[in-house]
Amino acid sequence: MEPPLLEVRDLVTSFRTEEGVVRAVDGVSFQVPARSIVGVVGESGSGKSVTALSILRLIEEPGRIESGAILFEGRDLMGLSEREMRDVRGDRISMIFQEPMTSLNPVYTVGAQIGEVVRVHQDKSRKQARARAIQMLELVGIPAPQERVDAYPHELSGGMRQRVMIAMALACTPKLLLADEPTTALDVTIQAQVLELLKKLQRELEMSVVLITHDLGVVAEYADHIVVMYAGQVVERGPVDEVFASPRHPYTRGLLRSLPSLGSSAHPDKRPRRLPSIEGIVPDLRALPKGCRFQDRCELVIDGCREGTPVLAAIGDHRAARCIRSKELAP
Ligand SMILES: Nc1ncnc2c1ncn2[C@@H]1O[C@H](COP(=O)(O)OP(=O)(O)OP(=O)(O)O)[C@@H](O)[C@H]1O
Ligand SMILES: [Mg+2]
């Protein structure tokens, strides 16, 4: 069997705060198979962005990657020098950051910004970099790329700017794209167009995508695998069709049950679907309960859940869930 393109193993990333050290990512493990889309979902603060930033080793003070392995194309990225890491970033692995407006520089044309990415990683002249920028704008479906290459970000619509972000991220044809909420700021019609584009490019360029989203509908439609995060940990993961058909963690089950009309892309309110709400709130990472982190919101909670810490246990070859009652959820 082909080895996974990326394997995150027992990743722990913490932040020093005034109230002590907070483990924002606490023992996260998952794989990204080659040429696949892995959807990462979880409520706000569950550690999705910190996981993605950790993969690229972009965690800054007061944060720190404490431990874990990030195996990519046969190497552990944790063992690379900062210089070697710079060669990986933007070239082999690239990222679309959660805040799109902060990622495009307002004072440079989009062509200059795409060209810059190419010039950092490849020995290209200005002219070649510009030609590549035009080619990329065309690839991401921006009309009149020869003219738009000289446009400034503010001259483009939100959807077009997001396409430019994708063009920048893919300019060096990376093997892995980390897309952190790439369409959240867009209205639903544009969101679907951008996601369709991402999926098409993922296939054509034979890359893998880690797609971070609040939207389970997006995962259902675009992802091959799902990773469900809760309070800094993976609580369930597996192939999308299997997890959606029979979730094995009460949190996943709750999310799916409260999801309105899955599969229909009609949104009456024209806004992206947010993660459906489950009663209660995510526990404070600084004051986690003993035992399962989901216990206070769980409808299946028993005494055992408040005593031992549940492990992420394998279910067959491809799935896992972190719940002592997981077996009872099997159909
Ligand atoms: N710079 C920081 N300083 C201190 N704590 C941080 C910092 N960045 C993140 N954290 C901690 O990490 C937790 C997880 O943050 P993260 O940004 O990964 O959440 P997320 O799942 O991406 O949420 P969202 O859906 O809102 O984007 C936060 O709740 C916070 O406790
Ligand atoms: Mg985030």
Whether residue 123 sits in one domain with residue 31: no
Rounded-to-integer distance, Cα 303 and Cα 292, Å: 11
Distances (CA, A) of 159 to 16, 163, 166, 195: 37, 6, 11, 11
Whether residue 76 sits in one domain with residue 6: yes
pLDDT in tens, 232-241: 999 999 999 9
Residue 300 lies in a domain: no
Distance 44 CA to ligand 1 centre (A): 8
Last residue of a domain, one of 221, 247, 273: 273
Whether residue 188 sits in one domain with residue 241: yes
Whether residue 185 sits in one domain with residue 108: no
Give pLDDT, residue 265.
Answer: 46
Count structural domains, the chain. 2
* Pairing verdict, β 225-230 and 233-239: antiparallel
Last residue of a domain, one of 141, 173, 205: 173
pLDDT in tens, 13-70: 999 999 889 999 999 999 999 999 999 999 999 999 999 999 999 999 999 999 999 9
Whether residue 256 sits in one domain with residue 188: yes
CATH number (domain holding residue 217): 3.40.50.300
Whether residue 72 sits in one domain with residue 22: yes
Residue 210 lies in a domain: yes
Last residue of a domain, one of 157, 173, 189: 173
Ligand 1 atom showing the smallest separation from residue 229 Cα: 21
The whole-number average pLDDT for the span 91-98 is 93
The whole-number average pLDDT for the span 2-10 is 96
Residue 235 lies in a domain: yes
Give pLDDT, residue 276.
Answer: 62
Whether residue 239 sits in one domain with residue 203: yes
Ligand whose nearest atom lies closest to the CA of 96? 2
Is any atom of ligand 1 closer than 6 Å to the C-beta of 159? Answer: no
Distance 317 CA to ligand 1 centre (A): 31
Is any atom of ligand 1 closer than 6 Å to the C-beta of 112? Answer: no
Lowest-pLDDT range, 152-161, 242-251, 264-273? Answer: 264-273
Lowest-pLDDT range, 8-17, 121-130, 136-145, 256-265? Answer: 256-265
Residue 269 lies in a domain: yes
Residue 288 lies in a domain: no
Give pLDDT, residue 103.
Answer: 76
Is any atom of ligand 1 closer than 6 Å to the C-beta of 228? Answer: no
Distances (CA, A) of 244 to 34, 215, 224: 22, 13, 11
SS3 107: coil
Whether residue 179 sits in one domain with residue 168: no
Give pLDDT, residue 268.
Answer: 45
Ligand whose nearest atom lies closest to the CA of 50? 1
Whether residue 194 sits in one domain with residue 161: no
Whether residue 259 sits in one domain with residue 145: no
> Is 102 or 4 the better-scoring residue by pLDDT?
4
Whether residue 123 sits in one domain with residue 70: no
The whole-number average pLDDT for the span 81-95 is 96
Question: What residues make up the domain containing 62?
Answer: 1-92+175-273
Confidence tier at 100 by pLDDT (50, 70, 90): low
Distance 185 CA to ligand 2 centre (A): 13
Is any atom of ligand 1 closer than 6 Å to the C-beta of 44? Answer: yes
Whether residue 188 sits in one domain with residue 151: no
Residue 297 lies in a domain: no
pLDDT in tens, 256-301: 987 765 544 444 444 445 566 788 888 999 989 999 999 999 999 9
67 contact partners, CB below 8 Å, separation of at least 6: 10, 11, 12
Three-state SS letters, 3-39: CCCEEEEEEEEEEEECCEEEEEEEEEEEEECCCCEEE
The whole-number average pLDDT for the span 74-79 is 96
Is any atom of ligand 1 closer than 6 Å to the C-beta of 47? Answer: yes
Residue 324 lies in a domain: no
Residue minimizing CA distance to atom 25 of ligand 1: 44
Residue 78 lies in a domain: yes
Q: Which of 14, 19, 21, 22 to mutate to test the pocket of ligand 1 (most atoms within 8 A of CB)?
A: 22
Give pLDDT, residue 267.
Answer: 45
